[in-house]
Structure 1
Amino acid sequence: MRGTVLVAGMGLIGGSLAKAIKAAHPQAEIIGYDIREDEVGLAEALNIIDKKAESFQQGAEQADLIVLAVPVLQTEKLINELAEFTLKEEVIITDTGSTKKRIMSCAAILEDRQITFIGGHPMAGSHKSGVAAAKELLFENAFYLLTPGEGANEKQIAVLKKWLQGTKAKIIEISADDHDRLTGVVSHFPHVIAASLVHQARKYNNSNSLISRLAAGGFRDLTRIASSNPEMWKDISLHNKDVLLTLLHDWKIEMERVIEVLEEESEPLLFDYFNEAKEFRDDLPAKAMGAIPSFYDLYVDVPDYPGVISEVTAYLAEERISITNIRIMETREDVYGVLVISFQNERDRKRAQQCIEKQTNYDLFLA
């Protein structure tokens, strides 16, 4: 497709979308905008964008597609600004926010002016941030949810999907209400629970510092999403407050039931509680990407001798396999392997597994 695309927000998501759009539509012009001059300058230097906008208004008024890849509260602010600009008649505006109901309500101001807004949420991310971490295939096989406004017609939705075809994502249309309920259950609520578990461990660590050492194993993996951007999760929690409050009240009832079962020392009920959870969890898709970014970890049961870690990483380096993290596990209850290597995607993890199996007789396990 030909045309001009403005990507407002030169972070991981905005940069990756810019790369994906350019890959599928090389004749399109990609303009970048960000209040952080260093990020938009880096995006231009890395050829992620063709040029940077002189201002948000200047970039928006020449765009055929406007992508708001900024935090949800900032998205509302930019929508209100867009309503005052002189935009192209056929322009399509979309966003990448993790909540949709409030954003779609805010976007009504655009629809009142006959401007097309289609909410969007690419459900992919990375352990890295910033435009330097942008990847063309960040969204490959991930769900990309669209929440069209009442003013959007099928032709406009089809045009947006064509612009996004370079993401190679699984695009699904859904209502804003359903979006917030679903992502509340499988993304927003788990982040709150992970943070609460960490707070509880921190509290107990004040009286026994061994807690933080023992938490270096499975507990650290269980709560790793608690390391997400606190500013972003503050905004998401406020945007999806009603859904989160309902889920937290339900969680409170669930925990009260667990307390009752424990006090009763009911072995059958406890077994059923853990067994039903295990069965549902085991039936979840193992390789599909969901609402929370996947972690591609490989557990390697290495022997304890000097230089073994550099030996393993040298094998991977020879095959030009990039790793995102590596660590030694001291506590391994319910977790196999003493060396944990993290990768950017499933392909790299599979290649690493084959490489290490070819070079050694170490036991390897996937999380």
Structure 2
Amino acid sequence: MTTVFIKGLGLIGSSLVRAIRAQHPTFKIIGNDIDEKACSYALEHKIIDQAATDLDEAAAADFIILATPVSTIINDLQQLAKLPLKKKVIISDVGSTKQEVLKAAIPLQKKGITFIGGHPMAGSHKTGVTAGRIDLFENAFYFLVETESNNPACLQLQNLLQRTRVKWLLISSKEHDQLVGQISHLPHVIASSLVNQTQHFFEDSPLGMRMAAGGFKSITRIASSDPVMWSAILQSNSKIIVHQIEQYIRELENIKRAIENNDQTRIFSFFESAKNSRDQLGPEKVGQLPDFFDLFINIPDQVGAIADITHLLALNQINLVNIHILEIREDIDGVLQLTFMREEDRVQAEKKLSQNNYVVLRRD
């Protein structure tokens, strides 16, 4: 019997396990998590077959997946190198940075153990084992680091995770860390710093933060991410992120000088360049990157309006992952932001809402 050991039963880990269970129902799945309640929930809902008390129980596994913060992954790789693992075991992780993780895996590789660095580019505003979903990774990129497509171990790992329905992408660890640093890590730093700066700015004005809705909430949504996880990410990718922060500061300084000098040509160019680049983003341009898909609609300011919309979506089995009322309105009616995990859900929702005379303002 094939045995899979997974450490970390949060959103990512439990979603992977659900996909493995669906594709390989006869595989034995052993789970471990620092939160005993997560293990209990996973056992109760048959997400895992057995709960492990420590990493030593991974010694009997054919596959080992580490789905914890990067700092923990590094420590676990060092511990696994000391265990009597199966010779043909395949070890992988889902960490957000890869160069430090690959360094930590060297002692294992010197012993002939296969390690393939991995990183699924997907997530949710929800966390924990209860938030896991079998379709969380569908159509998202899943990075496999420092491996080749014809590597037998790589093919076995892809087969194990086939039900995730991801788009596999092979990449070097350096390129990976630079890429995610710019499109993921730096935006999290910017969003969090903007929220902190705004909080300080409105210290003497309680009304200020209450009014910080609409666009402000949209661009700072990722600031709600787990601080423990992001502390570990920045620590493991520090050099790259510091360099990218310095470049971003220079960009801010450039627009600051343009504003000070009333240089309307440079100011216009600043916004025009950003708009043109932003408009090029999307599945039809660069391949589908994991994202949330938003739909903004007008709703009448009356009792039951939101309930009518959610009921309509539920009747048509359209999965809605988040809903938000924009509190600062540019339109006569209210503006409702509906968030979907998949593009096809948004398309279907727009079709059904339009058929029921709801006005779509825009889609992001």
TM-score after normalising by structure 1: 0.92
Paired with 1:176 and 1:319, the residues of 2 have a C-alpha distance of 42
How many angstroms does 1:149 deviate by?
6.8
For residue 265 of structure 2, the aligned residue among 268, 285, 289 is 268
Cα offset, 1:36, TM superposition: 1.5
Distance 1:247-1:154 versus aligned 2 partners, 3 A rule:
same
Alpha-carbon separation, structure 2, partners of 1:14 and 1:294 = 19
2:107 counterpart of 1:113:
no
Q: Alignment partner for residue 135 of structure 2, among 134, 137, 147? A: 137
Cα gap change, 1:333 to 1:276, in 2 (>3 Å)? farther
Is the CA contact 1:6–1:30 (under 8 Å) kept in the aligned structure 2? yes
User: What is the rounded CA distance, in whole Å, between the counterparts of 2:266 and 2:60 in structure 1?
Assistant: 63
Distance, in Å, in 1 between the alignment partners of 2:325 and 2:250 is 38
Q: Does the Cα contact within 8 Å between 2:99 and 2:177 map onto a contact in 1?
A: yes
C-alpha contact 1:315 1:359 (8 A) present in aligned 2: no
CA change 1:153–1:346 in 2 (3 A) is: closer
CA distance in 1, matches of 2:315, 2:147: 50
- Aligned partner of 2:62 in structure 1 is 64
Per-residue deviation, 1:322: 4.1
Distance 1:227 1:264, change over 3 A: same
**Given residue 232 of structure 1, which amino acid in structure 2 is its aligned partner?**
M
The 5 Å alignment of 1:52-131 reads 52-58=51-57, 60-131=58-129
Aligned positions of 1:113-262 closer than 5 A: 113-148=111-146, 154-262=151-259
CA distance, structure 1, for counterparts of residue 347 and residue 132 of structure 2: 22
Higher mean C-alpha deviation, range 14-23 or range 186-195: 14-23
Residue type of the partner of 2:348? R
| Aligned 8 A contact 1:148 1:157 in 2 | no
Any conservation in 2 of the 1:32–1:53 contact (CA below 8 Å)?
yes
The alignment partner of 1:144 has SS state of strand
Q: What are the Cα deviations for residues 211-255 of structure 1, in whole angstroms up to 9, with x where unaligned?
A: 213311101101101111111111101111000110111112212
AA matched with 2:66? L
CA shift for structure 1 position 278: 0.7
The Cα offsets for residues 14-55 of structure 1, whole Å up to 9 and x where unpaired, read as 111111122222332222111221101111211212222353
Q: SS state of the match for residue 338, structure 1?
A: strand
Q: Comparing 224-233 with 312-321, which one deviates more in the overlay?
A: 312-321
Change (3 A) 1:333 1:244: farther
Deviation at 1:331, TM superposition (A): 1.2
Equivalences for residues 28-67 of structure 1 within 5 A: 28-58=27-57, 60-67=58-65
2: CA distance, partners of 1:79 / 1:72: 11
| CA 221–117 in structure 1, closer or farther in 2 if over 3 Å, else same | same
Task: Provide the rounded CA distance (Å) in 1 between the counterparts of 2:280 and 2:163.
Answer: 30
Per-residue displacement from partner, 1:84-130 (whole Å, max 9, x unpaired)?
11110100100000011111111111112221111110110111111
The amino acid that maps onto 1:142 is: A
Q: CA deviation at 1:317?
A: 3.3
Larger deviation, residues 173-182 vs 349-358: 349-358
In 1, the alpha carbon distance for the partners of 2:171 and 2:353 equals 43
Counterpart of 1:75, as a letter, is: I
Describe the SS at the equivalent of 1:10.
Answer: coil
AA at the equivalent of 1:309: I
CA shift for structure 1 position 269: 1.5
Post-superposition shift, 1:314?
A: 2.7
- Contact 1:326 1:341 (8 Å CA) reproduced: yes
Counterpart secondary structure, 2:134: coil
Aligned partners of 2:273 and 2:172: how far apart in 1? 30
| Structure-2 separation of matches of 1:105 and 1:322 | 40
| CA distance in 1: counterparts of 2:61 and 2:241, whole angstroms | 36
Identity %: 42
Aligned residue type for 1:9: G
In structure 2, do the counterparts of structure 1 residues 249 and 269 end up closer, same or farther at CA, with 3 Å as the change threshold? same
Q: Contact conserved, 2:140 with 2:288, CA < 8 A, in 1?
A: yes
CA drift of 1:154 comes to 1.9
For structure 1, which runs of at least 5 residues remain unmatched after alignment? none
* Alignment TM-score, normalising by the size of structure 2: 0.93
SS of aligned partner of 2:47: coil
Look up the match of 2:351.
354
- Provide closer, same or farther for how the CA distance between residues 34 and 361 of structure 1 changes in structure 2, counting only shifts above 3 A: closer
Pick which of 302-311 and 2-11 moved more.
302-311
Match of 2:161, SS state, is: helix
Which residue of the other structure, out of 324, 328, 335, is the alignment partner of 2:325?
328
Match of 1:4 in 2: 3
Q: What secondary structure sits across from 1:140 in the alignment? A: coil
User: Aligned AA for 2:28?
Assistant: E
1:310 aligns with 2:338: no
- Report the aligned-residue RMSD: 2.2
- Cα distance in 2, alignment partners of residues 143 and 172 from structure 1: 6
Structure 1 residue ranges, 4+ long, deviating more than 4 angstroms after superposition = 286-289
Matched residue count: 361
